[in-house]
Structure 1
């Protein structure tokens, strides 16, 4: 994919809000939220005796539409559970933007789903994958290679920090020092595979200051957005993962400088007294594209 194609296909994924599939009122309310992605959950947020009802509600909501620019992603139960196969079939028929696979640890967790989507001709449905176990860490290279294969449709990875903490025994404390090596490993998986990656949730949704700090940390790490458990977290999250006005202006300056006829063959030059390379201009194009996409959503 060329850099111009990559920029064209960019869409903001600053905020991704989990919505319990069993809560019909929440599914309707989501149509008015300032959120980039809705993660319509059939897995962790739904009790076993409500799985079938949640599947029906979510798929009817997706098929019914009315969610505007928001990406609709259905998190299904694992394919080895009693609900996984039926979840996948119903989700694909509803035609969301993507299906989210839990606890992905290898190509074997991805390829059968990709094969099924191809068999069904579901060209518009992508695959997102949860990275939330020690197995995903140990198989990082394999998962990254899987993401590079277009057949696998892998657009986005989501870090499941709660499950990662549970499986490893590492505590989630302010600053997340114990998790940081694994978070950066997951970031590397995404970048090698050309995918976006979203941070895990912040459990105390009443602690907005702590939440804002963790959003800033994730943005500084290079993550593309964050998953959320409550609408009150949206404002801080959208702000943290959006390019600032200063970032956009600087990006435009770099792009303009490299587009000047006399600079077409240069790999580096000075802009406002700073030495910048052509790769910085390419990064700037992504910054501008995201800012423009956000603006289109606001104006819609």
Structure 2
């Protein structure tokens, strides 16, 4: 099964230094959680954040949610210890900040192997600098343990000296480069955060745009945005019904030796069926998560 096939509609950042937030993560309806040791944690709380995150992972209780741990970079005083501790944990993935080259991923993969990381643990990359955009293809193909990209649009906008506009046109090239690289190497890819928590309309618009661009879901900074992200990145009932209809019609046509079929006046061939099957599988997984 492809890395990108599981639901990742909503992925919430949670500061590791906030024990109550980590506890609350067990009850939230997000598809994934990012336990943060990096940007959301002050320097004098780095070790506390690490200890609390590892303790929370040891305790478990997060159900089907995908748990990533964003560590500090290897070029910081905390990065190596963060990676070692997370590699030994039950986390689903280590999320690396400000990745700009394949070498960073290869170094972390070697540490994970040395520390006995479980076989399903993956490496994810924050894509948040101009150099990362230019090296997206090389980063995407860096190592078999790579699972996906997370767009760091706040840092990216700072480095690009561009504006945060509603249509995000100033960073559309960057988003596209990472999308191309992710899909070329069968990686998942998550859209960046929407910073204005008072702008519900803007948040909804960014989710719609993200799904149209092909993102698997959106990273979030507050639990109140989970429901909107889940709705935006989930297939609608109409989409699922249409997908099931063309799958069935194409199956019948194939049994008769026909490669294409008309469904409600629309020409359906195998490429449409592949997309439909992917959509139905996602809908089924979302339904299963709701009852887990």
TM (normalized to structure 1)?
A: 0.93
User: Which one of 222, 243, 246 corresponds to residue 254 of structure 1?
Assistant: 246
SS of 2:25's partner is helix
Residues 1:182 and 2:174 aligned together: yes
Distance 1:223 1:266 in 2: 33
Worse-superposed segment, 166-175 or 78-87: 166-175
Is the 8 Å Cα contact of residues 86 and 94 (structure 2) preserved in structure 1?
yes
Worse-superposed segment, 133-142 or 54-63: 133-142
For the structure 1 residues 264 and 236, does the alpha-carbon distance in structure 2 shift closer, same or farther, using more than 3 Å as the test? farther
Partner of 1:132: 128
Distance 1:92 1:121 in 2: 7
Unmatched 5+ residue regions in structure 1?
Answer: none
Root-mean-square deviation over aligned CA pairs = 1.6
Distance 1:286 1:80 in 2: 39
Partner of 1:290: 282
Partner of 1:51: 46
Is the 8 Å Cα contact of residues 10 and 229 (structure 2) preserved in structure 1?
yes
Is the 8 Å Cα contact of residues 37 and 70 (structure 2) preserved in structure 1?
yes
For the structure 1 residues 265 and 136, does the alpha-carbon distance in structure 2 shift closer, same or farther, using more than 3 Å as the test? farther
Unmatched 5+ residue regions in structure 2?
Answer: none
Is the 8 Å Cα contact of residues 132 and 164 (structure 1) preserved in structure 2?
yes
- Cα distance, 1:171 vs. partner? 1.3
SS of 1:178's partner is helix
Partner of 1:215: 207
Worse-superposed segment, 216-225 or 253-262: 253-262
Residues 1:238 and 2:260 aligned together: no
Is the 8 Å Cα contact of residues 95 and 124 (structure 1) preserved in structure 2?
no
Is the 8 Å Cα contact of residues 257 and 263 (structure 1) preserved in structure 2?
no
SS of 1:82's partner is coil
Aligned length, in residue pairs: 291
- Cα distance, 1:79 vs. partner? 1.0
Distance 1:144 1:264 in 2: 41
Is the 8 Å Cα contact of residues 140 and 146 (structure 2) preserved in structure 1?
no
Is the 8 Å Cα contact of residues 254 and 281 (structure 1) preserved in structure 2?
yes
Residues 64-79 of structure 1 correspond to what in structure 2 (within 5 A)?
Answer: 64-79=59-74
Worse-superposed segment, 209-218 or 119-128: 119-128
Distance 1:273 1:73 in 2: 45
- Cα distance, 1:267 vs. partner? 4.1
For the structure 1 residues 106 and 264, does the alpha-carbon distance in structure 2 shift closer, same or farther, using more than 3 Å as the test? farther
